[in-house]
């Protein structure tokens, strides 16, 4: 793999994780919802889009929209039982919901159309890449990068507009406790549900982009670990700041991918290296929470 | 599988869960945050016992006891290094920190001991086999340790000064402090007790099945579920929750739901309907979500403000 190819790959990953990070930032950074199941939206987006395109033979754009709608609906449904609860319950309930989604796709192989060695733990391959035939093998990643960047920009604009609107002011007040928004006559529960649905649909968008780029998905790719990597992005980059969330995705992915080459310089096994990388991410979260609560780019405090 | 066998499996599972959920609940009670590193601490204890047992050749019983106490002591060090600086922070901040800590612990264990499944060195034990069930001596030990842990907790809470101080700090931290109760000292003890028990629970699970770095994460939802089910912050609730969940996990796979839909033969729905084994881990997740939906404060939970 040449350097240019690798950089394009890295940029595509940054775009996809940037969307995931923006989505979690809307939920955690702005609204204070401890969503420990972000990977569920990612997984749903990937699977739904794959099913729409591969099983129902529909164009990519319908897969994309389908993935967003289903992931958004999932966010809506899982937040109904939890909407009035404290953050500890949110954390464990969303974590559990994400595992249910993964276990569902692990057990139900028929959802991807059936066939031998397809679905379930085998995963599913041969996911078509949009407009692949128009490009050569070399130029295609550049085109895909353009798609990802357009989606990232779209997500940024929507979430940024949302957080600056009156809606954004309400959710920021929810973060500080239920009393103030309730005193102003705002239905806290509805706002939480809306945030989970909107954030969830963007998580689904990232999942679609991921599935169609790699051409292969399996339940193993959607372990809770992914959620925690996205958390590290939001915390390091700066919660409640959308540019911070994207910066966090960029930094964590550079860290994650650059350590891969470490094994060329020092004798260390791949498994050990992978573990040490996650130790570093865990410690990074702890250190950031201890000494740098605001993250790299601080939230803009606005006076109204 | 016979009915008696399912009951035995349920009690064994409940005993293991009790050891873990008791610790989670008292940490929540005193420190007011959901400790997502709780089961990862247990994994540290599991691997310490493995080191003592397999590498140093110690018998499993002293190995388990030493490892559990050592892990309890380790949690005090972690508390001083990390959580002590966050006493005034909100629950969500400490919770996210514990999540990061958990990731670091789990992968630290994996970096040192590798990702493969391992086993303790124990002499092969002959199971007791009857017409209706089989039970291994290990499973009897697990049940006994679980019972002993429950009794020890009851004694601790109601018959020791520490227990009284703990209950006082839980009810009203300011008042407790004003009554010359040293909150920091109690926090130290709570960590030690909670993580020692958790580690013991982890070791028992490791003895019954096998040891993996991922095992802590595999039980985090059942443990949280048991704790919330009984009412988080209430040790008796944690025991009850563990019992309910132990039975639900095992009976969930045993019961023919076809009979229930059929209302005992009235509806003519004759199909057999079991929960597929692949969904066993999902049972506790679904129960958790149902509890949150119906009675979030748990079976024995007190109604609290906020």
Residue B28: its chain A contacts at CB < 8 A?
88
The pLDDT of residue B266 is above 70: no
Query: Contact B96/A34, CB-based, under 8 Å?
Result: yes
- For B275, the closest chain A residue by CA position comes to A107
Confirm if B203 and B62 have CB atoms less than 8 A apart: no
The pLDDT of residue B138 is above 80: yes
Residue predicted with more confidence, A117 or A208: A208
How many of the other CB atoms lie within 10 Å of CB of A268? 12
- Determine the pLDDT at residue A151: 96
- Determine the pLDDT at residue B305: 41
- Determine the pLDDT at residue A2: 80
Residue predicted with more confidence, B273 or B137: B137
* Helices B137-159, B183-208: crossing angle, 10 deg rounding: 170
pLDDT in tens, A250-295: 999 998 888 777 777 777 787 888 889 899 999 999 998 888 877 7
Confirm if B19 and B199 have CB atoms less than 8 A apart: no
Residue of B91, B285, B296 with shortest CB distance to A85? B296
What is the distance between the alpha carbons of residues A55 and A69, in angstroms, rounded to a whole number?
18
| DSSP-assigned states of every residue in A79-109 | HHHHTTS-HHHHHHHHHHHHHHHHHHHHH-G
Query: Contact B281/A36, CB-based, under 8 Å?
Result: no
How many of the other CB atoms lie within 10 Å of CB of A243? 15
What is the distance between the alpha carbons of residues A210 and A32, in angstroms, rounded to a whole number?
27
Percent of chain B with pLDDT over 70: 94
The DSSP 8-state label assigned to residue A299 in this structure reads: P
Query: Contact B86/A276, CB-based, under 8 Å?
Result: no
The pLDDT of residue B303 is above 60: no
Residue B36: its chain A contacts at CB < 8 A?
36, 91
Question: Does any CB of chain B come closer than 8 Å to the CB of residue A39?
Answer: no
The pLDDT of residue B257 is above 50: yes
- Determine the pLDDT at residue A269: 80
Confidence of residue A227 (pLDDT cuts 50, 70, 90): very high
* Predicted ipTM beyond 0.90: no
Chain B neighbours among A 252-291 (CB < 8 Å)? 271-272, 275-279, 281-286, 289-290
Residue A282: its chain B contacts at CB < 8 A?
100-107
pTM of the model: 0.89
Q: Looking at residues A140-151, what average pLDDT do you find?
A: 94
Q: Looking at residues B220-234, what average pLDDT do you find?
A: 88
Among B282, B291, B293, B305, the strongest candidate for a mutation testing the A interface, having the largest count of A CBs within 10 A, is B282
Residue B284: its chain A contacts at CB < 8 A?
96
- Determine the pLDDT at residue A120: 81
Token pair 């009412």 in the structure block, residue: B231
Residue B118, beta-bridge partner list:
B211
- Determine the pLDDT at residue B107: 94
Chain A nearest CA to B97, separation (Å): 5
- Determine the pLDDT at residue A303: 62
Among B289, B294, B303, B306, the strongest candidate for a mutation testing the A interface, having the largest count of A CBs within 10 A, is B289
Token couple for A47: 């699977």
The full length of chain B comes to 306
pLDDT in tens, A43-63: 999 999 999 998 888 899 999
The pLDDT of residue A198 is above 90: yes
The pLDDT of residue B159 is above 60: yes
Percent of chain B with pLDDT over 90: 51
For B97-177, where are the E strands, in sequence order?
Answer: 128-129, 134-135
What is the distance between the alpha carbons of residues B162 and B193, in angstroms, rounded to a whole number?
11
Mean pLDDT (chain B) is 88
| DSSP-assigned states of every residue in A187-228 | -HHHHHHHHHHHHHHHHHHHHHHHHHHHS-B-GGGG-HHHHH
Among A29, A36, A93, A235, the strongest candidate for a mutation testing the B interface, having the largest count of B CBs within 10 A, is A93
User: Please, which residues have CB within 8 angstroms of residue A2's CB and are 6 or more apart in sequence?
Assistant: none
The pLDDT of residue B269 is above 80: no
């Amino acid at each position: 793999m040449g350097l240019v190819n690798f950089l394009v790959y890295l940029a595509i990953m940054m775009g996809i994780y940037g969307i995931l990070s923006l989505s979690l930032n809307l939920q955690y950074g702005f609204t204070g919802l401890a969503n420990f199941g972000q990977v569920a939206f990612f997984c749903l987006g990937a699977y739904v889009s794959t099913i729409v395109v591969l099983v129902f033979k529909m164009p990519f754009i319908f897969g994309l929209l389908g993935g967003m709608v289903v992931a958004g609906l999932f966010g809506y449904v899982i937040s109904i039982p939890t909407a009035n609860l404290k953050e500890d319950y949110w954390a464990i309930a969303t974590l559990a919901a994400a595992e249910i989604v993964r276990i569902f796709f692990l057990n139900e192989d028929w959802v991807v159309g059936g066939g031998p060695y397809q679905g379930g733990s085998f995963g599913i391959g041969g996911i078509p890449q949009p407009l692949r035939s128009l490009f050569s093998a070399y130029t295609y990643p550049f085109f895909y990068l353009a798609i990802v960047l357009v989606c990232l920009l779209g997500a940024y604009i929507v979430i940024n507009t949302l957080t600056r609107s009156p809606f954004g002011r309400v959710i920021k007040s929810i973060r500080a406790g239920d009393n103030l928004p309730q005193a102003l006559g705002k239905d806290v529960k509805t706002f939480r549900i809306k945030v989970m649905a909107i954030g969830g649909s963007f998580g689904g968008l990232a999942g679609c982009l991921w599935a169609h780029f790699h051409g292969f998905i399996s339940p193993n790719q959607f372990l809770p670990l992914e959620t925690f990597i996205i958390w590290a992005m939001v915390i390091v980059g700066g919660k409640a700041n959308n540019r911070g969330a994207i910066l966090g995705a960029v930094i964590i992915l550079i860290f994650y991918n650059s350590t891969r080459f470490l094994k060329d310089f020092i004798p260390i096994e791949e498994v050990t290296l992978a573990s040490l990388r996650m130790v570093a991410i865990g410690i990074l979260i702890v250190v950031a929470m201890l000494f740098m609560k605001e993250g790299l780019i601080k939230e803009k405090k606005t006076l109204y | 599988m016979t009915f008696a066998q399912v009951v035995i499996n349920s009690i064994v599972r409940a005993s293991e869960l009790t050891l873990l959920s008791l610790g989670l609940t008292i940490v929540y009670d005193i420190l007011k945050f959901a400790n997502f590193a709780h089961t990862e601490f247990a994994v540290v204890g599991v691997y310490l016992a493995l080191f003592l047992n397999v590498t140093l050749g110690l018998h499993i019983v002293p190995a388990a006891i030493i490892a559990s106490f050592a892990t309890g002591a380790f949690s005090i060090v972690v508390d001083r290094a990390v959580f002590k600086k966050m006493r005034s922070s909100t629950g969500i901040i400490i919770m996210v920190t514990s999540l990061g800590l958990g990731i670091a612990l789990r992968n630290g264990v994996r970096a040192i001991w590798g990702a493969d499944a391992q086993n303790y060195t124990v002499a092969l034990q002959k199971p007791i086999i009857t017409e209706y069930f089989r039970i291994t001596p290990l499973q009897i030990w697990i049940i006994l340790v679980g019972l002993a842990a429950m009794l020890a907790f009851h004694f601790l809470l109601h018959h020791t000064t520490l227990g009284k101080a703990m209950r006082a700090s839980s009810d009203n931290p300011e008042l407790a402090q004003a009554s010359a109760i040293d909150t920091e000292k109690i926090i130290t003890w709570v960590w030690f007790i909670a993580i020692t028990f958790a580690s013991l629970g982890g070791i028992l699970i490791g003895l019954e099945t096998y040891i993996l770095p991922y095992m802590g994460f595999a039980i985090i939802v059942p443990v949280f579920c048991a704790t919330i089910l009984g009412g988080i912050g209430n040790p008796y609730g944690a025991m009850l929750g563990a019992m309910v969940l132990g039975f639900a996990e095992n009976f969930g796979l045993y019961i023919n739901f076809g009979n229930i839909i059929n209302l005992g033969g009235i509806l003519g729905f004759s199909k057999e309907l079991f929960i597929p084994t692949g969904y066993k881990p999902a049972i506790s997740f679904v129960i958790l979500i149902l509890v949150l939906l119906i009675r979030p404060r748990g079976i024995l939970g007190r109604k609290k403000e906020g």
